[in-house]
Amino acid sequence: MSGIISLTTDFGTDDPFVGIMKAVILGISPKAQLVDLSHQIEPQNILQAALILGSSVPWFPTGSVHLAVVDPGVGSDRRALAVKNKDHFFVAPDNGILSTVLNDYSEVYALSNSEYFMKKVSQTFHGRDVFAPVSAWIEKGTPLSQMGTRIDDPVILSIPKVKVDKNQLSGEVIAIDRFGNLATNIYRHDIEENFHPSSNLIVNIEDKSINGPLTSYSEAPAGVGACLINSMSVLEIFCNQGSAEKELKSKVGTPVTLTEKH
Residue ranges binding a second copy (CB under 8 A): 2-4, 6, 8, 10-20, 22-24, 26-27, 30-31, 33, 35-40, 43-44, 52, 55-56, 59-61, 64, 72-76, 122-125, 128-129, 177-179, 215-219, 228, 230-231, 236, 241
Rounded to a whole number of angstroms, the minimum distance from the CB of residue 195 to a second copy is: 19
Q: How far is the CB of 258 from a second copy (least distance, A)?
A: 18
Shortest reach from residue 18's CB to a second copy, in Å: 8
The residue among 39 and 170 lying less far from a second copy, judged by its C-beta, is 39
Contact 69, 18 (CB under 8 A): no
**Residue 207: CB minimum distance to a second copy, A:** 26
* C-alpha distances out from residue 190 to 42, 187, 195, 210, 237, Å: 28, 5, 9, 18, 16
Closer CB to a second copy, residue 123 or residue 198? 123
CA geometry: angle 77, 83, 86, nearest 5 deg: 165
d(Cα 101, Cα 82) in Å, to the nearest integer?
A: 12
For the CB of residue 3, give the shortest distance to a second copy in the complex, in Å.
6
Cβ neighbours for 253, distance < 8 A, ≥ 6 positions apart:
172, 173
β-strands 208-211, 201-205: how paired? antiparallel
For 189, other C-beta atoms within 10 Å of its C-beta total: 9
Distance CA(4)–CA(237), nearest Å, equals 33
Please check whether residue 130 is in contact with residue 154, taking contact to mean a CB–CB distance below 8 angstroms. no
Residue 103 or 218 having the CB closest to a second copy: 218
Would you say 86 and 104 are in contact if contact means Cβ atoms under 8 Å apart? no
* Cβ distance to a second copy smaller for residue 170 or 242: 242
Nearer to a second copy, 84 or 126 (CB): 126
For residue 18, the surrounding DSSP H or E stretch is helix 17-28
CB of 46 to a second copy, least distance (A): 13
Q: Of 230 and 259, which has the nearer Cβ to a second copy?
A: 230
Give, as one character, the DSSP assignment of residue 132.
Answer: H
* Closer CB to a second copy, 56 or 85, in the complex: 56
> C-beta of 23: minimal distance to a second copy in Å?
4
